[in-house]
Amino acid sequence: MSSLPVTSSATYLDATVVVPQGKYHSPAAVGVSYRAEALFRLELEHGPNYLTVRDPKTGIFGQGEDVLAALQDFMRAAAEHRDVLERQPTLSEDLAAQLKYLRARVP
């Protein structure tokens, strides 16, 4: 199995902006803010006619005919699992930690 970093949205942008010396202003000074999102580190497994992506931390997985379909299925399953945990009146320490982990990663 290989690890595949994935964001909850299907997009990722890596950009470098070159600013002339003396022209740089902090993000706050120009009204820009940043948000760091937590990521899943997923394992990818190839089957005969499908792919499986699995989060080893929770055991949640998704399957599909291609990577996009498997990721979409995974995100649906992760959101569903988060919803189930959120509806519980009480959680064990392990499940409370899992809920915190999912809340940071699933919109």
| Domain count within the chain | 1
What is the 3 state secondary structure string of 8-62?
A: CCCCCCCCCCCCCCCCCCCCHHHCCCCCCCCCEEEEEEECCCCEEEECCCCCCEE
Owning domain of residue 98: 2-10+37-103
Does residue 29 sit within a domain? no
Does residue 89 sit within a domain? yes
Does residue 44 sit within a domain? yes
Does residue 16 sit within a domain? no
Does residue 95 sit within a domain? yes
Q: What is the pTM of this model?
A: 0.66
Does residue 78 sit within a domain? yes
Burial class (CB in 10 A: 0-12, 13-18, 19+), 72: middle
Q: How far apart are CA 36 and CA 34, in angstroms?
A: 7
Q: Between 70 and 9, whose confidence is greater? A: 70
> Which pLDDT tens digit goes with each residue over 11-59?
333 444 555 566 656 666 666 655 556 788 899 998 889 999 999 999 9
